Chains A and B, each alone.
Chain A
Amino acid sequence: MKALAVVVAVLFSALFTRLWFLQVLAAEQYQEHAETNRVRLVPIPAPRGRVLDRDGDLLVRNRASVVVTVDRLAVENEEDFLFRLSKVLRVPARRLASELHDPRYLSYQPVPVLLDAPEDAVAYLAEHASEFPGVSYDTVAVRDYPLGALGAHLLGYLGEISPAELEDPRFDGYRPGDRVGRGGVERYYEQFLHGTDGWTKLQVNSQGKIIDDLGSQVPRAGYDVVLSIDRQIQALVETSLQEGIGAAHTIYDEESKKFLKAPAGAVVVLDPKTGKVVALASYPSYDPRIFLGGLSEKEWRKLNDPLASYPLNNRALQGLYPPGSTFKPFVAAAAIKAGYASPYGYYDCPGDYVAPGDTSGTVFNNWKPTDSGRISLARALIDSCDTVFYQFGWQFNRDRIVRDEIFQRLMRKWGFGSPTGVDLPAESEGRVPDIGWKGEVHERAPLLFPEGLWLPGDNINMAIGQGDLLSTPLQLAAAYAGIANGGTIFRPQVGLRIQTAGGDLVQEVEPHVAGRVAADKPALDLIREALRQVPIAGTARSAFLGFPLSQVPVAGKTGTAEIFGRQPHSWFAAFAPVADPQYVVVAIVEEGGHGSEVAAPIVRRILEGLFGLTPSEIRPGDRTD
């Protein structure tokens, strides 16, 4: 009897202990489970903010789209099913099949097979639902591009959020399947454009049947982003760039014994008083509408095909090129600052140059093989005389240790070698090579960089914008804006302000001064004056024939960046009107030959549009520097 009593006592204590555990120690966890059991949170998606140009024209907006989805698990005879479905949707069965087998979707997830399904097709599917098991349709909001492919790089597109991003605290509150910005404004201003989803809380029973409404929260629509871009100028810039590149293909380059390849290019138009970007184009471009339904494998491969020249790259801020002669104005300013030159001094311009004391026999050539005698600094810029600048380069090199690499320091003050901080993602840094850099890369990759020591040639080449110097078109534009506005380097910005869907201001994108250049007024005046002559009597004369320069004085500089083993890049940088500059325009055509031939006519055409002048056809200029 006693034994039995003991057993019973033990059993009871076991029960008590377990009860204690469940209801006291672990109660919270179970209460949470109880909640999860019965409460369903249904999200109400918030509409994404739109993107507008400076005049309020819509560049990106939303529209409703009907998407047809298929539950793979419910499909029995796939071939027959797809055949019938393709007849209804009027889309090739093959295409439906490839969408259906998209590996990104797990087997139990419904796969979207057609975006923008026609209304009558959807109605038919609804009426014949039993014939199409597993087929469903939903209305979703998708991005709409009223201006088509205009400003594709600038605007960016949307893609599905990645698992890595879901973990990132910046994407707190995002759910799998959400679309986030990729590239361009869509990405940079993601947090403003996104808005806050609302929700409804429903109480359900064990069958998932809705019992009660426990409350809801209205979604907050994303904010609109107003850009400083002018859509008409943007259109003009994109057309001009494309036409200019087309024209380049007709030019025969004797050096390489081929027509100019000109596969790509970029243009930047800035307001030098604020740094706001008026237009930004990169060629080749793409149509952002292809990203709407999600990219097919084929489309993705096409976009990343090297033969297509990587249209997704935004060369305006990612492309890295040696600036060539467009760099000279900055070298001139530096030489004046360092005391190697004065604004009204005279300098030798021989046909070629040998560094003093150099026994290696290295000869640095001028683009014009003839000796021009002693010329003014202004003329050195107007005619783009390389040898004048080689001398400056040599002097900078001679004093590099004593003056703590003063050349590089001055160039960096103009913004070279570091990202501008523009409000667009994936900007390249650029490069101003120095002693430390050269040693470092030689150590890391001795086959690519066989020389680790700094040589005089490095500085000499840099003085004409060659060597290991690299700049993006945007950096160059910001630097030229510094010349145009008298010495302030503004951070380029595409955003003007953030506002609510109703138009109320949320935040201004204030212009940002990144720095002031180390050049005083006489130097900058001299440079501006010299550059004003370039389209009149200098290297860009032929490109600006017929342009009303007396009406709209243009300051400009040609550049031809030599690349080993390839055709040179064609550069032209300009600002106008000289006395009170409204715009800075920088154009580059990769492997587009000489600056005056291809880039300058493009800029001329753009300037005509900017100032309401009679447009001219883009014709190749004479070959100069």
Chain B
Amino acid sequence: MDLTAGRIVVGDRAPFRHLDPILLVTTVLLALVGLLMVFSATHQGLESLGEDPGFFLKKQAGFLMLGFIGLLITLSFDYRVSKVYAPIAYGAMLFLLLLVMTPLGSTVAGAQRWITLFGFQFQPSEFGKLALVAALGAYLSEIRREVRLDHVWRAAGIAAAPMVLVFFQPDVGTSMALAAVLVGMLIVAGAKAKHIAVLGLSALFLAVFAFQVGIVEDYQVARLTGFIDPANDPLRAGYNRTQAEIAIGNGGLTGTGYLQGTQTNLDFVPEQHTDFIFTVVGEEFGFMGASLLLVLYGLLLWRGFRIAMLSRDTYGTLLAAGIVTMFTLQIFVNIGMTMGIMPITGIPLPFVSYGGSALISNFLAVGLLESVHMRRFK
């Protein structure tokens, strides 16, 4: 699919002139909102322990800086460079994901997802999402003519490797994100509905198999059943969800005010600075604030869509589509989970949740988008 047909001839081609300002501003705004929310979610708890209340805030700010620099570096390069290095990135990702599983990997909160390198902890799976997007984009963009079923299978194979590794960390949420990326990019690449259907069916089959064989853990099942039927639920899974709903509902129309959230301040919502950060927005800024946040995300996705449409080549489009899908899934699953309409999974809210790896990789993703946007005329 060649989208260069509608290109407009402009005078100056210097890439920096063709930055998408809205995307940049939206991203930075989201990250700043994240800083504010992380502070609100953590300062009370830290203070009561006698620690510095701004501890998490400062760390996140640091990651934000790093990420922003990363973004600037990324967009200064031509995105097509990533196509060349995609296989290397993909290989590195698989290596790191394997490394996580070894004793070198660190376990946090029952999940072995991190690697400690030079005193820093980082999560390979976050960067892995981006690597997969690039790899799939590289593969799919090379398909001439029609997409056939065997292409679909190969694409699925490319996605399957990281998915499986991530799934056994265990990290169901990120596996879901990777799956969504696969499907989204396939659709954009031109896979037919029946191809997707075949994929879907085999995924279902695999899921059933996994259940029977016992690969799926009890608590993972519990999370699902807890979501579907709240009455039949072991204490923990339902508790998170109930407390999150209460906090959001407590916000009402206008919210309790910044730093005034009672549920937030009294630690009623677990994992509030990470997975459940949306509850802080909901409680302290109410429907107004939460809607505004959704609007900001909407802006982000819209710009991403637009970039996909305007891209001058297939690779760019696929890259943008993959990134948009990745963001969409994370946003929807995370916010849906805090509101009780999605099962609990450990997916962070892009730019807002506390977490260095996610924040930096998200900034890099936006950098890629900007790069595609900036070079759409060449």
- Of residues 14 through 54 on chain A, the ones whose CB sits less than 8 Å from some CB of chain B are 14-16, 18-20, 22-24, 26-27, 29-31, 33-34, 37-38
In contact, A204 and B250 (Cβ under 8 angstroms): no
* Contact A205 B328, beta carbon cutoff 8 Å: no
* Contacts A19-B294, A34-B249, A206-B268; A14 near B336 (Cβ below 8 A): yes
- Is B168 at the interface (CB under 8 A from chain A)? no
Instruction: Map CB proximity to B onto A190-215 as digits: 1 under 8 Å, 0 otherwise.
Output: 00000000000001111100010000
Interface pair A18/B253, CB less than 8 Å apart: no
Binary contact track A455-474/B, C-beta < 8 Å → 1, others 0: 00000000000000000000
Contact B328 A37 (CB under 8 A): no
Distance, CA A26 to CA B336, complexed state (A): 17
A27 close to B252 (CB less than 8 A)? yes
Taken together as a complex, chains A and B put the C-alpha atoms of A24 and B250 apart, in Å, by: 10
Q: When the two chains form their complex, are residues B266 and A22 in contact, meaning their CB atoms are under 8 A apart?
A: no
Contacts of A1 in B (CB 8 A): 188, 305, 308-309, 317, 321
Chain B contacts of A8 at CB under 8 A? 301, 305, 324, 328
Binding-face segment, B83-91, B200-208, B284-292, B356-364:
B284-292
Smallest distance from the beta carbon of A339 to chain B beta carbons, Å? Answer: 80
Across the interface, which residues of B come within 8 angstroms of A205, CB to CB? 266-268
B309 (CB) vs chain A CBs: closest residue: A1
Q: Is the CB of A38 within 8 A of B305?
A: no
Within 8 A of A (CB), among B303-351: 305, 308-309, 317, 321, 324-325, 328, 332, 335-336, 339-341
Contact assessment for A29 and B249 in the assembled complex, using a CB-CB cutoff below 8 Å: yes
Q: Tell me, yes or no, whether B230 is within 8 Å of chain A by CB.
A: no
In contact, B252 and A31 (Cβ under 8 angstroms): yes
B247 proximal to A (CB < 8 A):
yes
A448: Cβ under 8 A from any B Cβ: no
User: Which A residues, 332 to 349, have Cβ-Cβ distances below 8 Å to chain B?
Assistant: none
Partner pick for A30 among B246, B266, B325, CB 8 A cutoff: B246
Evaluate contact between A211 and B248: CB separation under 8 angstroms: no
Q: B178-210, CB under 8 A of A: which get 1 and which 0?
A: 000000100110000000000000000000000
Given known A-B contacts A14-B341, A22-B249, A24-B287, A34 and B336 have beta carbons under 8 A apart: no
A38 in contact with B325 (CB, 8 Å): no
Query: Is A34's CB under 8 angstroms from B184's CB?
Result: no
CB of B266 within 8 A of CB of A18, answer no
A401 close to chain B: CB less than 8 A: no
Query: Which of the residues A15, A23, A26, A30 comes within 8 Å of B335, measured between beta carbons?
Result: A15
Chain B residue at minimum C-beta to C-beta distance from A30 = B249
A23, B287: Cβ atoms closer than 8 Å: yes
Instruction: Give complex CA distance A470, B213 in Å.
Output: 83
Q: Considering the chains assembled together, what is the distance between the CA atoms of A5 and B291 in angstroms?
A: 19
Q: Which of A168-207 contact B (CB under 8 A)?
A: 203-207
Task: Report Cα–Cα, A20/B339, bound state, in Å.
Answer: 11
Closest to A31 in B: B250
A26 touches B249 (CB 8 A): yes
A30-B305 in contact (CB<8A): no
Q: Which residues of A contact B317 (CB under 8 A)?
A: 1
Asked if B294 contacts A16 (CB within 8 A), the reply is yes
Q: Is A4 an interface residue (CB 8 A)?
A: yes
- Bitwise, A50-85 to B at CB < 8 A (1) or not (0) is 000000000000000000000000000000000000
Whether, in the assembled complex, B367 has its beta carbon less than 8 Å from a beta carbon of chain A, the answer is no
Q: Is A12 close to B, CB under 8 A? A: yes
Which residues of the other chain, B, contact A24 by a CB distance below 8 angstroms? 252-253, 287
CB-based nearest B residue for A204? B266
Chain B residue nearest to A5 (CB atoms) is: B305
* Of the residues B268, B291, B305, B321, contact of A16 by C-beta under 8 Å: B291
A30:B250 contact, CB within 8 angstroms: yes
CB contact under 8 A between A19 and B287, given known A4-B321, A206-B266: yes
Contact of B247 among A19, A34, A207 (CB under 8 A): A34
| Residue B262 lies at the interface, judged by CB distance under 8 Å to chain A | yes
CA of A265 to CA of B251, assembled, Å: 69
Within the complex, the shortest CB–CB distance from A166 to chain B, in Å, comes to: 26
A505: interface (CB < 8 Å): no
Complexed CA–CA distance, A524 and B198 (Å): 110
Partner of B339, one of A19, A31, A204, A207: A19
Query: In the docked arrangement, what's the CA distance between A436 and B325, Å?
Result: 89
Q: How far is the CA of A209 from the CA of B43 in the complex (A)?
A: 18
Chain B residues near A16 (CB-CB < 8 A): 291, 294
Q: A4-B325, A30-B245 are in contact. Are A206 and B267 (CB under 8 A)?
A: yes
Residues of A within 8 A of B321 (CB): 1, 4
- B187 touching A4 by the CB < 8 A rule? yes
Question: Closest residue to A203 on the B side, CB-wise?
Answer: B266
> Which of A7, A15, A29, A31 is packed against the most chain B CB atoms within 10 Å?
A15
Cβ of A123 within 8 Å of any chain B Cβ, yes or no, is: no
Known contacts A12-B294, A30-B250, A31-B249; is-contact A4 B266 (Cβ 8 Å): no
B269 CB to closest chain A CB (Å) equals: 8
Residues in B whose Cβ lies below 8 Å from that of A31 = 249-250, 252
Q: Is A3 an interface residue (CB 8 A)?
A: yes
Residue from the list B245, B266, B291 in contact with A38, Cβ < 8 A: B266
Confirm or deny: B112 has a beta carbon within 8 angstroms of a beta carbon on chain A.
Answer: no
The answer to whether the Cβ of A11 comes within 8 Å of any Cβ in the partner chain is yes
- Known interface pairs A11-B332, A15-B332, A15-B336. Does A23 touch B252 (Cβ–Cβ under 8 Å)? yes
- From the candidates A11, A23, A206, A211, name the one contacting B290 in the complex (CB within 8 A): A23
On whether the beta carbons of B184 and A22 are closer than 8 Å, the reply is: no
CB of B263 within 8 Å of the partner chain: yes
**Do A19 and B290 touch (CB < 8 A)?**
yes
- In the bound complex, how far is the Cα of B296 from the Cα of A15, in angstroms? 14
B309 neighbours in A (Cβ, 8 Å)? 1
Give Cα A16–Cα B288 distance, bound, in whole angstroms. Answer: 11
Q: Is the CB of A23 within 8 A of B248?
A: yes
Q: Does B298 contact A (CB under 8 A)?
A: yes
| A16 to B353 alpha-carbon distance, docked (Å) | 20
- Report the minimum CB–CB distance from B177 to chain A (whole Å): 14
A7 contact set on B, CB distance < 8 A = 328
A33 touches B249 (CB 8 A): yes
B282 at the interface (CB under 8 A from A): yes
A94 CA / B219 CA spacing, docked (Å)? 46
Q: 5 interchain pairs (CB within 8 A)?
A: A15-B335, A19-B282, A20-B287, A27-B251, A34-B262
Seed contacts A8-B305, A15-B339, A34-B268; 20 additional CB < 8 Å A-B pairs:
A1-B188, A4-B305, A7-B328, A8-B324, A11-B328, A15-B294, A16-B294, A18-B340, A23-B252, A23-B286, A24-B252, A24-B253, A27-B253, A30-B250, A34-B250, A37-B243, A37-B262, A37-B266, A206-B243, A206-B266
Which 8 residue pairs are nearest across A and B when measured between Cβ atoms? A30-B249, A34-B250, A23-B287, A205-B266, A27-B252, A33-B246, A11-B332, A22-B249
